[in-house]
Structure 1
């Protein structure tokens, strides 16, 4: 099951699991669309894997399987 990380690892932007706008690699490194468009260009800076659109988790499934609260952004 996807961890559904709560923020962009590059800029810290909030990325709610029930909204679009997040991209992930196969290791679940998570980035926002803006960082991808501006710098990443579809490639994860951590593992060099490709970034793909993260699926949205519905509210009923979030209640049963909550998203992670562990923020990865490092100031």
Structure 2
């Protein structure tokens, strides 16, 4: 089940469960659309994976399946992931 993390890892913008501007990778690293698009060019800076819109959990399901309250904030900010030539992504 998705954790539905509450904030952007880059700029700390709040991303409530119904946020349509939340983006995640396959490891659930979470970013706002502004950071994902403008700063990260659609790639997760942690794993290099694609950032896609996070699905919205129906509000009726939130009581029994609550979102995460743990905020994750990267100390390095929104630096795009750099892969050295010849290195595995």
Structure 1 consecutive aligned stretches of length 4 or more whose deviation exceeds 3 Å: none
C-alpha displacement of 1:74: 4.3
Where does residue 56 of structure 1 map in the other structure? 56
Length-normalised TM-score, structure 2: 0.80
**Deviation per residue, 1:51-70 (Å, 9 max, x gap):** 11100011111111000000
State how many pairs are aligned.
75
**Deviation per residue, 1:13-66 (Å, 9 max, x gap):** 000012211000000000000101221111000000111110001111111100
Length-normalised TM-score, structure 1: 0.93
Point out the structure with the larger helix share: 1
Q: More relative contact order in 1 or in 2 (CA 8 Å, sep 6+)?
A: 1
Unaligned runs of 5+ in 2: 76-89
Where does residue 35 of structure 2 map in the other structure? 35
